[in-house]
């Protein structure tokens, strides 16, 4: 990539990786790059209107959404949508709450923004976006406040993994090993089996029929460990470790 990126967003469109925003040192970025794993080349795409780090990114029915984040000065509730055909960004409806380090995922034709922090506290609230009405609506909140939460979907459910709970002025975060599962049909959350260690800024994705929690921060160490979750048995199992510890890494699946 051009330079280094921290707290960026990542998504897959047509088997290509899209890297969105982030930070390069103290500079918050609005730039977007696309990686083609078949040709092993990077392409620079049109930038977002807003510089964003700590944003959430997901693909919903074709377009890609860049949700919330921080522009270097303030926490954001704005949302931009990338049209792959027109190759341009446009603003859609803003969230009701500013959210940075927010977890974002698409489920059943809607976009979910989970937790994050608004500048004064970590959030347990959830918002849901309907692209057909261009409106956000509030859902039942989680039981725990979560910034740096890892989010993924599996079998019609939304999962929220780990994260931290601390105000912006307090660096003594309470880190979480707690995992919650959201059922959109009943608008309810259920606490399920915890990960083996607290994981803040954890990467989470679905591969096959299992969820994977990759890396993160446990309060002392950037973790290289990974564990997988089996929804059938409600159990987490240790899997192969990364070569280096990573917190705030984005994890996605690309078909090859």
| Per-residue pLDDT at 172 exceeds 70 | no
Number of H helices, E strands in the chain: 0, 22
φ/ψ of residue 136, rounded to 5: -100, 145
Residue indicated by tokens 């047509």: 14
Q: What is the spatial order of strands in the sheet that 150-154 belongs to?
A: 150-154, 157-161, 179-183, 188-192
Instruction: Tell me, yes or no, whether 198 lies in a domain.
Output: yes
Instruction: Tell me, yes or no, whether 70 lies in a domain.
Output: yes
Instruction: Tell me, yes or no, whether 24 lies in a domain.
Output: yes
Quick check: 49 and 81 in contact, CB under 8 A? no
The enclosing domain of 185 has a CATH number of 2.120.10.80
Neighbours of 230 (CB within 10 A): 13
Least confident of 74-78, 173-177, 196-200, 224-228: 173-177
Instruction: Tell me, yes or no, whether 103 lies in a domain.
Output: yes
Nearest to 231 by CA among 116, 171, 141, 153: 153
In this prediction, residue 170 carries a pLDDT of 55
What average pLDDT does this structure show over 130-134?
Answer: 98
| Per-residue pLDDT at 46 exceeds 70 | yes
Instruction: Tell me, yes or no, whether 141 lies in a domain.
Output: yes
Quick check: 24 and 33 in contact, CB under 8 A? no
In this prediction, residue 137 carries a pLDDT of 98
Cα(29)–Cα(79) distance, rounded to whole angstroms?
15
In this prediction, residue 255 carries a pLDDT of 82
CA distances in angstroms from 174 to 45, 90, 223, listed in the order given: 38, 37, 17
Q: Is 98 helix (H, G, I), strand (E, B) or coil?
A: coil
Instruction: Tell me, yes or no, whether 250 lies in a domain.
Output: no
| Per-residue pLDDT at 48 exceeds 80 | yes
Length of the chain: 256
- 216-232 pLDDT, tens digit per residue, is 999 899 999 999 999 99
Instruction: Tell me, yes or no, whether 110 lies in a domain.
Output: yes
- 19-36 pLDDT, tens digit per residue, is 999 999 889 999 999 999
- The tally of domains found in the chain comes to 1
Instruction: Tell me, yes or no, whether 206 lies in a domain.
Output: yes
Least confident of 87-96, 122-131, 171-180, 210-219: 171-180
Cα(127)–Cα(70) distance, rounded to whole angstroms?
18
Give residue 218's domain range.
9-239
Under the banding of pLDDT at 50, 70 and 90, the label for residue 169 is: low
Under the banding of pLDDT at 50, 70 and 90, the label for residue 256 is: confident
């Amino acid at each position: 990539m051009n330079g280094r990126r921290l707290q960026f967003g990542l998504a897959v469109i047509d088997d290509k990786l899209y890297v969105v925003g982030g930070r390069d040192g103290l500079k918050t970025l609005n730039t977007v790059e696309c990686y083609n794993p078949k040709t092993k080349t990077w392409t620079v795409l049109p930038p977002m209107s807003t510089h964003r780090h700590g944003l959430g990114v997901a693909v919903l029915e074709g377009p890609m959404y860049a949700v919330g984040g921080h522009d270097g000065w303030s926490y954001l509730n704005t949302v931009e949508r990338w049209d792959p055909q027109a190759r341009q960004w446009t603003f859609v409806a803003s969230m009701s709450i500013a959210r940075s380090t927010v977890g974002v995922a698409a489920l059943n034709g809607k976009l979910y923004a989970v937790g994050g922090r608004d500048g004064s506290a970590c959030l347990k609230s959830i918002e849901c976006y309907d692209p057909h009405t261009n409106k956000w609506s509030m859902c039942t909140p989680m039981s725990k406040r979560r910034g740096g939460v890892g989010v993924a979907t599996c079998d019609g459910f939304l999962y929220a993994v780990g994260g931290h709970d601390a105000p912006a002025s307090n660096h003594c975060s309470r880190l979480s090993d707690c995992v919650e599962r959201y059922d959109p049909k009943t608008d309810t959350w259920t606490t399920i089996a915890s990960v083996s260690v607290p994981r803040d800024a954890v990467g989470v994705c679905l591969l096959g029929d299992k969820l994977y929690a990759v890396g993160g921060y446990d309060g002392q160490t950037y973790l290289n460990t990974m564990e997988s979750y089996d929804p059938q048995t409600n159990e987490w199992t240790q899997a192969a470790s990364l070569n280096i510890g990573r917190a705030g890494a984005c994890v996605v699946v690309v078909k090859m």
